[in-house]
Structure 1
Amino acid sequence: MTAVWALQAPVPNFAFHRHRLRPCITPSRSQHATSSSSAAAAAVRPTQLQLGQDIPVALRRWTVGDCRFLLVVPDIDAVMEMYIDMGQPDRDPYWCEPWPSALAMAEELLQRPDLVAGKRVCELGCGLGLAGLSAALAGAAEVVLLDREPLALQCALLNAAINGLPTGASAAGVQVPGMEQLLPYLQPSDAQQLAQHQRAVAEQRRQSHSAASTSAAPNTNTHPSSGASSSDAGGSRGSSRAPGVVSAEVFDWSQPVTVQRHDVCLVCDCLYEAFSVEPVAAVAPKLLKPLGSRLLLADPPDRARHNRECFLDILCEESGEFVVEESGEKGVQVWEAGKEAWRSVPVAMLILRRAAGGETVGVKLARCSAS
């Protein structure tokens, strides 16, 4: 993992400061609610709100390597207002955007489908699900998206469907509207973009099926021309396997684990808050099968360095079963709207494998320095 490569993806200017900044939102009357109104505030639940009708959404195109995704992106101010109305103004609304770490993970999986091909994969704290969707495109047998926010899972499953991925039955609490329910609330340009993307996805799927039937080599171009539609998501990239089925489950990593175990767990930018480190380190091994499974970690090397070291320290102390297979850093090009310019953002990538006692393949986790 020594190569540095670029992903072209628009990311809002505030995105790199989410551990310090909140979006500027005019206070609503619910911000001043007293304890007597807490019951009314608690009555507001994400599962009761409708995407489009209650939470405005837009469609955004993201380029990851040779693959273009079209994603449902909710309005971050509306989501923050939802949390305020719930009496939880400290909730984090930043799942509403894909982050550089998720983009880096997505590219890694599409470039190296062997990491997930034929495997059962979960994405912890998935947000809009870009990394998990890329795992499905890379040929994972099954992808389970995990997040505590039901609206995030609704968006992620819609994104799977928009990009031509099969979706399976999801756990209770994840109610997913069909795109036809969103269409009346989309801007005309978004509706047109959706129709074009769906046609491109259908064509890509047809080409993928045709290539598979004739044993043709898959498309491995890393920089598609802007006019080519065959690079839109919809077919498995770099893998001869069909895209995996995507499902979702409401999952709070501070609660007991009730989901099945997986071959691979994706963790993208989940360590930006210090209070998240211990619960994530505790829950990650419980999401993985006992032997040979892998934990793929991606986060900013500078902003979360101490948190990542503490994470590995806890993982070593509590589990002691993981070895480092690969460690490196990748560069992600993101668009800063305020400066009207591209900016290179580093992402630290780490692949850990659950190993048998006494195994010598890989670098055994040692206690991490606190420096």
Structure 2
Amino acid sequence: MTFDASVLFRSNLPAPAAAPFKAFPAFNFIGGHNDSASIPVAALTDAATRIIAQEGASLATYGLNSGPQGYLPLREFIAGWMKESAGMNDTADEVLITSGSLQALDLVNQLLLDPGEIVVAEEATYGGALTRLAKLGVPYLGVRLDQDGIDMAHLQEILEAQRQAGKPAKFIYTIPTVQNPTGGVMPVARRQELLDLAARYDCLIFEDDCYADLLWDGARPPALRAMDAEAAQSEGRANRVIYCGSFSKSVAPALRIGFIMADWPVLAQILPLKTDAGTGALDQMVLAEFCKDHFADHLVTLRARLKAKCDTTVQALEENFGTAAEFTAPLGGIFIWVTLPDAVNTTQLATAAAKEGIAINPGAEWTVDGPKNVNRMRLCFGNPEADQIREGIARLAVICHREFGVPERISNRSQP
């Protein structure tokens, strides 16, 4: 008698993984991978050696003698860095360490959302946020974007329509600084408009700021949470912004260290939802030890490397796709958001390209209305080296021409 475990699986599972992982594609333009050469290996090694020698005995306890919010020196560093770089005045007591920003998203969703409630999200946004909302049975409405972020007139239309329908939006999910995938940055005046609308329609703002440290010039605008703090204090109310950050893009994705910043009554209700017995302790200790002496200088080096890769990507797109590829060069981060002619279906293009070792993110996966964005794609330039970027985009243009006739002509540089 043969036993088939699959007959015991619960219903409504996601699609199974295609195959065991073997290796990254030769030309890898997907995900949030970062620059290998910028990982501060020597400094992390030194930090690990020091901190384990000094505090290794604290690994005998859950929470490292710092409690369930995470390693206190790391929370203190985050509070100090966010004050210096983004104008925030939260203390370490208003910081919760999470296992990457994805866990932060899950925790905030668990805190705020019942099935059927409404969330407003930018029309192009982080795909992981959308899949999580869908899993919870929470409808999300897309608000228009330009390079300066949310179109506030359209946002007001949505919020007013939802109020009139008796289904007000619970929160607005936004990536205001180095937006994913567009790379845009919301100006301060528009940030204030966003806060004013949230106040008028009595909804929260969930600020996802995972790429803010990667602005090319290093001068990030004040966080929405920082801007709301003064008004909240003068009006005797809670800050209406819950903030999410991450070290995945600024130090290393594999560390899986993110954080939430919110008023204590919010964190006090989130903590019982975080049932993992704590985010990786050793990672927190090493990161805190590294950051206190090296974080700011490390960012300078990382930004320069990523800016050079961005410039290479822009040049490769222009040389190989010409005017068929429309995009705005990002102000920071690791992504370029590309619009191709309507004839192109990037979901099909991704399938064809994958057979030849090229991985891209189809636009439908990063937009609220996927069917209307099948001619868009997100390219991550963080991990591939310059020669891989040039060759990969050249090969992608050949495949796109073969499959869709776009671009109409292939440059000599595009020939494999």
TM (norm. structure 2) is 0.26
Question: Greater share of strand residues, 1 or 2?
Answer: 1
Question: Greater share of helix residues, 1 or 2?
Answer: 2
TM (norm. structure 1) is 0.29
- Which is bigger in relative contact order (C-alpha 8 A, separation at least 6)? 2
